[in-house]
Structures are given as C-alpha cells and as structure tokens.
C-alpha cells in the first residue's frame, strides 16, 4: 500500500523520552475508573491506546463545523450507548477480547460515518476504512487499520466482521485471527492483499486507496 498505510501497519507506535518507554494511559482518569472494564483498560497498554484513539476521533467528529446540530445530538447519544456496551464487557468470557472488538468497531463507525474524524490522521494511529475487493465475496470489504502493539485490522462486509491481530512478517503487514470455523488471514503487500477465510481458497484482493 502507499506509504501512509504501510507505515502505519509496519511501524510500532511507542511513547518514549530519553530512552524511557512510558506506559500508555486511557483518556479517562484511572484514579476514578468505574467498574471492571475501565479497570482492565487502565492496566492494559493496548486497550489504553485504543481508548485514546477512539476518544480522539469522537472529539474530532463532534467538533466538526459541518456537522448539523441534529447529528451532534445523535453522535452524543451513540457515544453514551457505546460506552455502556463497552463497560458491559466484564460479563464476557474474555473481557479483553470483547473490549478490543468494541473499540475497533467504534473506530470504524466514527471514521466511516463522520468526515471530521479523519481530518487529523497524522496525529492518530488509525486509518481507513479502505475498500477491499476480493473475488468470491459479493461485497466491498471495509478495512480499518489501527497501529497499537500489536496492530489490528478490522474488516467488515455485509453482516460480517473480522478482527485480526498483526503478526511477525518478513514482508508487508500480516494479520491473523482464530474464529469459530478455523483460521483467517489478511496479508497486505502493497496495493494488493491476500485474504484467506476458513474452508475457502485464498483470494487475491485489491485495496482501493483514496486519491
């Protein structure tokens, strides 16, 4: 892919000063964290970075001058509902996986639905959604990429979503996931990519980049 996405998916994001790597902190004050999910976010660097990016995108979307008042009210309500759903992840068998998916879904929704959310991409760790066309899938896949450590790819099409974690690769950016029916793989090697879904042959895909 072009440099903007390739750099995002291949370069770890680290917070460091004078050789010291500082732990990430979420957008809220951990001293007043409420509930098990918020406490989990405060203890996990990846979740903390996802929280800060989600909050950053939400703020950009809300502050956009072009956003009508009615949509701002809708966005406020959406965010309150999303926070409630995220906080309910403590009920899940895997609270971290639930919270991670919740953040990636929200990042996609903000970037997809609100133009203001991607006006300052040079200051964030997310890109997309990009249109991904694969033979054998009768829909354009929307791909959103987030550079935490590890990075994530969030693919969405029709009524399906796929959360893949970045793994070590000699070339390109490789993401994998273990889902109910087997292993899934998305391998980005420039404007072309490969997608492998359980029980299906690998598909050579094309990533549509914005002008």
Using a 10 angstrom Cβ sphere, with 0-12 exposed, 13-18 middle and 19 or more buried, the burial of residue 5 is buried
Q: Which of 25, 42, 48 is nearest to 103 (CA)?
A: 48
Residue 8 and residue 150: Cα distance in Å, rounded?
Answer: 12
Judge whether 102 and 38 are in contact, CB under 8 Å: no
pLDDT value, residue 23: 52
> Cβ contacts of residue 68 below 8 Å, gap of 6+?
none
pLDDT value, residue 4: 38
pLDDT value, residue 40: 96
pLDDT value, residue 7: 39
Q: What is the pLDDT along the chain (211 residues), one digit of tens a residue?
A: 333 344 344 433 222 223 333 457 999 999 999 999 999 999 999 999 999 999 999 999 999 988 999 999 999 999 999 999 999 999 999 999 999 999 999 999 999 999 999 899 999 999 999 999 999 899 999 999 999 989 999 999 999 999 999 998 777 799 999 988 899 999 998 789 999 999 889 999 999 977 5
Judge whether 75 and 62 are in contact, CB under 8 Å: yes
Local structure of 203: helix, strand or coil = strand
pLDDT value, residue 10: 40
Residue extent(s) of CATH 2.40.128.200 domains in the chain: 126-208
> Cβ contacts of residue 198 below 8 Å, gap of 6+?
179, 181, 182, 183, 184
CATH superfamily of 126-208: C-type lysozyme inhibitor (2.40.128.200)
Q: What angle do CA 105, 130, 162 make, to 5 degrees?
A: 40
């Amino acid at each position: 892919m072009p440099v903007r996405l390739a750099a995002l998916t291949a370069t770890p994001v680290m917070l460091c000063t004078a050789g010291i790597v500082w732990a990430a902190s979420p957008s809220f004050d951990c001293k007043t964290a409420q509930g098990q999910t918020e406490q989990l976010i405060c203890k996990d660097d990846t979740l903390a970075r996802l929280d800060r990016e989600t909050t950053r995108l939400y703020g950009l979307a809300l502050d956009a001058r072009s956003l009508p008042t009615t949509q701002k009210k809708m966005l406020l309500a959406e965010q309150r509902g999303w926070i409630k759903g995220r906080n309910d992840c403590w009920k899940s068998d895997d609270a971290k996986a639930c919270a991670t998916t919740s953040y990636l879904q929200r990042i996609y929704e903000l970037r997809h639905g609100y133009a203001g959310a991607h006006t300052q991409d040079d200051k964030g760790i997310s890109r997309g959604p990009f249109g991904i066309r694969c033979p054998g899938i009768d829909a354009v896949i929307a791909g959103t990429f987030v550079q935490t450590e590890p990075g994530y790819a969030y693919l969405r099409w029709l009524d399906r979503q796929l959360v893949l974690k970045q793994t070590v690769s000699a070339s390109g950016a490789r993401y994998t996931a273990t889902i109910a029916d087997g292993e899934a793989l998305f391998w980005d090697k420039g404007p072309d990519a490969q997608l492998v879904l359980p029980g299906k042959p690998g598909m050579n895909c094309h990533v549509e980049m914005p002008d």
